Amino acid sequence: MFAILFIFGVAIGSFINVLSLRYDEEKNKILFTSAIQGRSRCRDCAKVLCWYELIPLVSYGIQCGTCRGCKKPLLWQYPLIELATGLLTASLPIFLYQHLHGAQLTAQGLSLVWVYIAIGLWLLAVYTAITLAAIDLRLKIIPDQANILLALIGVILVAIKKFGLLDYANFSGSYATMLGAPANPIFAALIAAGFALALFGGIVYLTKERGMGLGDVKLAIPLALILGWPDALIAFSSSFVIGSLVGLLLIAKRKATMKHALPFGPFLIIGLFVAVFWSETILRWYFGLI
């Protein structure tokens, strides 16, 4: 099952590469006709690529990361996004199946429909988030379309929790109560969204958009709705830590300066995945220190 999901995810990652690299800032639409039509070409020599040059991961490896026509290096984005999407597509459903007690429901003879719906919503959120991160990394903008879709996914997940369609616990596990997680999932989502608005909106206001852009605020709020409180706290904290480490590394290698602006969207997305997979582990380590 892992291998099948991985192959499927790698193929989706290849499509995400197409969408993100063909995204037109002026049209402000991720899915538009010219983005999904037309043959793929080398970005340097404009050579039309054959089918065997478009096999996700495989073609990049066989060609040693270069174009067969002009021999110029291909974008590192191609294998990175394909690999990341493949791994998340393979691991997230398995993780969520366990988190949502799929095995117990099966043993009790109960339907798994809502488990599969929740997993499908999360995968859609993953694909949207990766596309968004790739666009932000390239153009330093976050499309509103992606934010709206993420917010809609968040609202549906909150509804699933609220109406008790699933035994949907926080990713923080037993530590959620210690961090003030409300029993009502609507309140948890609103607290997380309010925290996101206050934190990121405050940074934008205090730095006059020099420290962070409005796009990051608009992204943080949907992510907060998806995660709820206190998982959103782990996601945002992780994004700042990872972003700072990457910034310091770039400065140390003299590839950036203190005045260099890094797109923060990708770090927010990484924080989302950190919160999903490792919230409870991080909190166990943190409370173990004190």
Cβ proximity of 153 and 227 under 8 Å: no
Distance CA 137, CA 59 (A): 24
pLDDT class of 31 with cuts at 50, 70, 90: low
- Tell me the pLDDT tens digit for each residue of 149-159: 999 999 999 99
CA 34 to chain centre: 25
Least Cα distance to 195 among 217, 173, 215 occurs for 217
pLDDT of amino acid 90: 96
Going by pLDDT thresholds of 50, 70 and 90, the confidence category of residue 42 is low
Which of 2-16, 115-129, 143-157, 250-264 is predicted least confidently? 250-264
In whole angstroms, give the CA distance from residue 201 to residue 173.
28
pLDDT of residue 33: 44
DSSP the chain: -HHHHHHHHHHHHHHHHHHHHS-BTTTTBSS-HHHHSS--B-TTT-PBPPGGG-STTHHHHHTTTB-TTT-PBPPTHHHHHHHHHHHHHHHHHHHHHHHTTHHHHHHTT---HHHHHHHHHHHHHHHHHHHHHHHHHHHS---HHHHHHHHHHHHHHHHHHHTTSS----TTTTHHHHTT--SSHHHHHHHHHHHHHHHHHHHHHHHTTSS--HHHHHHHHHHHHHH-TTHHHHHHHHHHHHHHHHHHHHHHTTS--TTPPPPSHHHHHHHHHHHHHHHHHHHHHHHHH-
Alpha carbon of 10 to those of 38, 69, 106: distances in Å? 21, 24, 29
pLDDT-derived band at 13 (thresholds 50, 70, 90) equals very high
pTM of whole model > 0.85? yes
Which residues on adjacent β-strands are paired with residue 67?
Answer: none
- Both ends of the chain: CA-CA distance in Å? 41
**78-102 mean pLDDT:** 95
Please report the pLDDT score of residue 21 as a whole number. 85
Judged by average pLDDT, the poorest of 55-59, 257-261, 268-272 is 257-261
Tokens standing for 122? Answer: 């999360």
Q: Which of 2-11, 16-25, 263-272 has the lowest mean pLDDT?
A: 16-25
Per-residue confidence band for 69, with pLDDT thresholds at 50, 70 and 90: confident
Average pLDDT over residues 278-287: 93
pLDDT band at residue 250 using 50, 70 and 90 as cut-offs: confident
Distance CA 284, CA 20 (A): 37
Q: Would the pLDDT of 199 be above 80?
A: yes
Mean pLDDT of the chain: 87
| Residue type for position 236 | F
Mean pLDDT of 49-71: 75
With cut-offs at 50, 70 and 90, classify the pLDDT of residue 148.
Answer: very high
* Stronger pLDDT, 286 or 92, i.e. the higher one: 92
Average pLDDT over residues 255-277: 86
Of 1-5, 11-15, 165-169, 239-243, the range with the lowest mean pLDDT is 165-169
When pLDDT is averaged across residues 120-137 and rounded to a whole number, the result is 95
47 CB contacts (<8 Å, ≥6 apart)? 41, 67, 68, 69, 70
* Among the listed residues 121, 105, 109, 131, the one whose alpha carbon sits nearest the alpha carbon of residue 154: 121
